[in-house]
Copies of this chain bind each other. A is one copy, B any other.
Amino acid sequence: MNKHGEAIAQFTKHKSTHGLKSSDKRSFVVDHFIQADRHFTVEELYFEVKKLRPEISYSTVYRALKLLAKCGLASESMFGEAVSRYEPVHSSAHHDHLICNRCGRIIEFENDKIEKLQKDVARNYDFLVSAHRLELYGLCKKCRRKKNR
């Protein structure tokens, strides 16, 4: 089963264990989010969905994303902005972000060495880490070229 299939399966499982029912609209939103496999604000996802299924409301999108977050398929993060972004959670490794200040592109990366050093730091402070966030802001490859335009 592919990655998307797994995610859908996990969502279905969460529904059954939580007494939730199926719904076309929510499924559409969930599928779209999982297929897209990238960051969304509620509003961004809402606008995309609306193009294809105009009868789906903001509330439904909002609640679908909250639900995805609850069942571990999306994580909510606030990239220093005032709006929440939801990103797909890949069962695999945690990832950090490079965020372009110009075009908004978000690049994910992983770096084991950094992760390890983080643990060292935490140990020094007798701090028990449950989550972390690392974000590098600046200009992405494309935007560096057009820096002075």
Report A's interface with B, CB cutoff 8 A.
77-78, 80-82, 98, 100-101, 107, 109, 111, 113-114, 117-118, 121-122, 124-141, 144
Q: Tell whether A117 pairs with B125 under 8 Å between CB atoms, given A80-B133, A138-B130.
A: no
Q: How many copies does the complex hold?
A: 2
Q: Tell whether A136 pairs with B141 under 8 Å between CB atoms, given A98-B122, A114-B114.
A: no
The answer to whether B138 and A131 have CB atoms under 8 Å apart is: yes
Query: A98 to chain B: which residues have CB within 8 Å?
Result: 121-122, 125, 127, 129
The answer to whether A130 and B121 have CB atoms under 8 Å apart is: no
The answer to whether B133 and A133 have CB atoms under 8 Å apart is: yes
The answer to whether B144 and A136 have CB atoms under 8 Å apart is: no
Q: 7 more A-B contacts (CB under 8 A) besides A111-B117, A125-B140, A130-B139?
A: A78-B81, A109-B121, A114-B121, A118-B134, A125-B141, A132-B134, A133-B135
The answer to whether A135 and B132 have CB atoms under 8 Å apart is: yes
Query: A122 to chain B: which residues have CB within 8 Å?
Result: 98, 136, 138
- Determine how close the nearest CB of chain B comes to the CB of A128; give it in whole angstroms: 4
- A138: contacting residue among B100, B107, B111, B127, CB under 8 A: B127
- Determine how close the nearest CB of chain B comes to the CB of A149; give it in whole angstroms: 15
- Determine how close the nearest CB of chain B comes to the CB of A3; give it in whole angstroms: 23
